[in-house]
Amino acid sequence: MANSKLLNTPALKLSLLVVNDFYYMIPICIKFLFQFFQFSTCHFCTVSKQIHCSGVAMSKRLRFYGFVGFGSLCFVFLFFDQRYGSPETMKDQIQRLSATGKFWEKTGEIDDSLATLNEIQQVIDQQRRIIHDEIIHYQYPNGRYNISASELEDLVMENNGNPIRSVIVSTWRSGSTFLGDILAAHPGLFYHYEPLSDFDIVQIRGPPLASQVLTNIKALLNCEYADLDHYVEYVKNQSWIFRLNPPLWTQCQAHQSICYNHRFLSGMCKLFPFQSMKLVRLRLRVAQELLADKKLAVRLILLIRDPRGTLQSRRHTTFCQASPDCSDAGLLCADLTSDYNAAVELQMKYPSRFRVLRYEDLTAEPYKHVKELFQFYGLDFHPNVKKYLDTHTKSDVGNAYSTYRNSKTAPFHWRTDLEFEEVEEIQRNCFVAMKRWGYVPALNISHQKEFNPVTDYTI
C-alpha cells in the first residue's frame, strides 16, 4: 500500500517531467512543494500514529529541511540547464517560462500532462524506428553534392545533425503540388506543405509581412513549433495541410489528441533526416533570405509555369477569384518578371544551391528532370520516387487538385480551354515575363490550337 502511494506522489511525477524539459521545473517546483508538504505531513503522521492527516502538524525542522532540500533540487536542475543547455537569451527564457505557466494553468493537473507526454514519447519512439527501417540501406551523400553526411545521425536534428532541406518556391497552380508530392515520396522526408496558408490568398513581396513570414519559415525548418500557435490553430481547421505530410498524418490519425501539440510536432519533425517545403505565397526577392542563412543550408528550386496555363488552371478553383493576387494577370506577370531578375542574381551568387525549373520541361521529361532535381537537392533517386512517377504521369485522374496527370499534355490545356481573346489579354499583360521565360505568344485562333508555346530561355 505504501508503495502504491509513493507511485502517485508528486516526487515521482516531478522526476518524470524533469527528464523532458528543465524549463518546466519552475512552476512544477512551486506546485510540488505544496504537495510535498501535504503528503509528507500525511505520511509521517500515519506512520507515527501521533495525529490525523490534517496537514497541520508538521515540525518546523521537517518543513525547513524539506524546503531547503527540494529548493536545492530545483536550483541544481536549472543550474545544469543554464551551464550545459542551449545558449538562449534571458528574454527567451522568460518568454518560455511565461508560456510554461500558461500551459500548466490550462492543463491544471500534472497527471493529464504526464499522460500526454508519455503518449508523445511513445509515438516518437515508434516513428524513430520506422524511419530507421525505411532507410536502413539508404545511399547517403558521403561527400557527393557537397554534403558530407554519411549516416542517419548526421542528418537528424534530434541528434544535433543538420538535415537536407529542400525548398520549392512557386505560385498557385504552377505545378508545385505535383513536384512537392514527388519529393514527399522519398522515405524519411518531413513535408511542410504550404506553411504560409494562414496568411490567406496573398503574395508576400516585402514589408510588412516579410519579416514575420521568414521567422515562421525558419522556425518550421528548424522544427520549432512552440511559437507557431496561429499556424497550428489554422491547420486544425484545414487538416489537408497535414494530410499531405504522409508520416505525420499517419500518426495524427492514430493519436488525434496530440496531433496539434507543439511538443509532439517539434519532436516528430526533428526525427526526419530530410525536410522539404513548398511555398506559393512568397516571392523570390524575399525567399532569397533563406539561401543567405548558412546554418539552414537550404537548396531552393524556383518553379515557373506559362502564365496562360496558370491562369486557366486557377479558374477551376474556388479560392482564387476573390483575391487580385491570384486572379489578376498583371500581378502574376509582374511577379514572374521580378522572379526572373532575382533568379539571375541568385544563380551567380548560389550556383550550387539555387536552380530554376519550368513546369513544362518537368512534365515533358519527368524522369530525367526529377533525377537531376534529386541530385541537386542531394537526395537519392529512391525506388519509391520512381514508383510515384510511374503511377502519376500516365493519365488524368481526379479533380482539379489531383496530381494524377498525363504529364505531356497537362501544361497545355489552356490552348483549348481559353478563348483567343482571353489569351490575347494575358499576353498583353505578360509580354515581358513571357519573353524572359521562353514562352511563345499565340498569333491567332488556329495558331493557338496547334503551336508549341515553349522555347529556350537563359538565366
Neighbours of 10 (CB within 10 A): 18
Grid look-up 516528430 returns 268
Query: Looking at the structure, do residues 165 and 267 belong to the same domain, yes or no?
Result: yes
Where among 108, 134, 158 does a domain terminate?
108
Per-residue confidence (pLDDT) for residue 163, from 0 to 100: 98
Q: Which of 82, 108, 134 is the last residue of a domain?
A: 108
pLDDT of residue 321: 87
3-state secondary structure of 319: coil
pLDDT for 393: 85
**Residue 139 domain-assigned?**
no
- Quick one: pLDDT at residue 71? 55
**β-pairing verdict for 189-193 and 354-358:** unpaired
Mean of the pLDDT values across residues 420-428? 97
Flag whether pLDDT at 291 surpasses 50: yes
Question: How many distinct structural domains can be found in the chain?
Answer: 2
Mean pLDDT of 402-416: 74
Same domain, 254 and 313: yes
User: In the predicted model, what is the mean pLDDT of residues 154-168?
Assistant: 98
- Residue 94 sits in the same domain as residue 170: no
Residues 182 and 101 in one domain: no
Average pLDDT, the chain: 82
Which domain range does residue 166 map to? 144-450
- The answer to whether residues 380 and 374 touch, using CB atoms and an 8 Å cutoff, is yes
User: Which of 273, 271, 270, 268 lies closest to 255, judged by CA?
Assistant: 268
- pLDDT of 11 reads 43
Decide if 13 is inside a domain: yes
pLDDT for residue 35 is more than 90 = no
What is the predicted pLDDT for the residue at 113?
A: 87
Q: Would you say residue 21 has pLDDT above 50?
A: no
The percent of residues above 90 in pLDDT, for the chain, comes to 70
Shared domain for 157 and 74, answered yes or no, is: no
Q: Do 241 and 308 reside in the same domain of the chain?
A: yes
d(CA 403, CA 175): 9
- Supply the pTM of this predicted model: 0.76
Q: Note whether 401 and 445 are same-domain residues.
A: yes
- Inform me whether the pLDDT recorded for 306 exceeds 50: yes
The answer on pLDDT for 65 being more than 70 is no
> Does position 412 have pLDDT exceeding 50, yes or no?
yes
Q: What is the DSSP string of 174-194?
A: SSHHHHHHHHHTSTTEEEEE-
Question: Is 41 in the same domain as 169?
Answer: no
Domain C-terminal end among 56, 80, 108: 108
| pLDDT above 70 as % of the chain | 73
Gap between the Cα atoms of 386 and 228, Å rounded: 35
